[in-house]
Structure 1
């Protein structure tokens, strides 16, 4: 009776799943780290506003009345600067989708027996960590430059709002990048969207002081909830920020759900 052949080269299923994710994370971080031009372009607007606009306007407008509380203008303007960094870094992360296709890497990826869920999860983790890392750098610079009168709960609420903002905006930009097939169209969308989103939200002013039309636009502007969530969290804590945090969480779920579905369709067409 012939002896049976046994192969021991295939790793266990759990090890293979972990290897899938670690490989995706490695290439995503390598791709983002090598793209120094996009990283510089992502950091520049935040640092310009933080170092120039915040300091200049803080000397001009020292205190703002926000929901019945006197808030230093540097503190009031900080969420706008952080939100700009979130949008910029989310756009940079989404650009990687087009880089993969134009370089032919996407065809190689989808030819490999890799689960789409692992690919999407790796992109989500890498993108969000880029957004958070870049924005936290701005927060550290702001803490050094300005006297931020935040207690432990306020810091925790601010960081929670910042994390949910990173998840929501990164998910929305990733969904847009996967849904839009034209690179130039996405470039236009990415570059035009940042000033439109920032200045149609209550960034440098309160919602009540905005024109009526812009108040309507701000309701459907995702950056409104990011800025209000960070501002309310920093000034009041979780009690005032929970509604915006909930909206950001829903946007993150919707963004990654749409992006995941579009990713499956796009992979099938390669």
Structure 2
């Protein structure tokens, strides 16, 4: 009678899947967090607007009329600075894909017997965490400098809208990085998109005060819904912010669907 070979050290399937996910998340954190150049480039614009533009313009424009209420300019401008951080960090997360391919690491990763869904989930968790981490750092700096008259519902709504914005833009930039195969083209898109998105949205000004052409552009600008969602959730609560939050959720679903399928298709071609 032949004896059956048994591997006593083989981990259970559930443990192996968890190990795959934790390894991918750890690797993504190391890849994104150790690149100090990208982190500095991601934080600098937000801190410049927070410390210089906000403080200087707050003395010039003390209050803004927004949807029938008078809002302090520092409160009005906070969603813009958080939106800048979200866009910048999402671009950094997208650049990590090109780093993997240029260094040859992507070929090694996809050659390893690892579940593709675990790799995609780990990349999503790490990317969104980076976006949220940078934005929360900016929010903490803003709280130390300015006095925000938000209640607990306003803070919860602001954080919820910020989380949805991080999911949406990380997914959109992931889809863009998968669709655009040229690294230099993506670099140009990432650097140019932030000022275009910020200044074609109701960021420094209300929607009604924008020129007609910019009003049309702002309707298709994804950052408009992030800024309005954070602003309305912080000032009025979830009741006024839910349409913008719903748009952000749809954008996140579309971005990760397109980006995920593109990432898996690229892996099959390696």
Does TM-score exceed 0.5, indicating one fold? Answer: yes
State how 1:28-177 maps to structure 2 within 5 Å: 28-177=28-177
In the TM superposition, residue 63 of structure 1 has moved relative to its aligned partner by 0.5
2:269 is the alignment partner of 1:269:
yes
CA displacement, residues 169-225 of structure 1 (integer Å, 9 cap, x when unaligned): 010001111121100010010000000000000000011111111111111110000
- Deviation digits for residues 143-190 of structure 1 (CA, Å, limit 9, x no counterpart): 111110000100111010000000000100011111211000100100
**Cα shift at 1:10:** 2.2
TM-score w.r.t. the length of structure 1 is 0.99
After superposition, give the CA deviation of every residue in 1:93-112 in whole Å (9 maximum; x if it has no partner).
Answer: 11100000000000000100
User: Over the residues paired in the alignment, what is the CA RMSD in angstroms?
Assistant: 0.7
Give the C-alpha shift of residue 239 in structure 1: 1.1
Does the alignment pair 1:191 with 2:191? yes
SS of alignment partner, residue 65 of structure 1: strand
Return the offset for 1:114: 1.0
**Moved segments of 4+, more than 4 Å:** none
Superposed CA deviations along residues 10-64 of structure 1, whole A, max 9, x for unmatched, are 2111011101101100110111121010000000000000000000000000000
1:64 alignment partner, SS class: strand
Equivalent position of 1:15 in the other structure? 15
Equivalent position of 1:213 in the other structure: 213
Paired residue secondary structure (1:71):
strand
- Aligned counterparts of 1:257 and 1:5: Cα–Cα separation in 2: 42
Q: What residue is the counterpart of 1:222 in the other structure?
A: 222
Give 5+ residue unaligned stretches, structure 2: none
Aligned length: 270
Question: Counterpart of 2:237?
Answer: 237
**Structure 1 residue ranges without an equivalent (≥5):** none
Could you tell me the TM-score, scaled by structure 2's length? 0.99
Q: CA deviation at 1:116?
A: 1.3
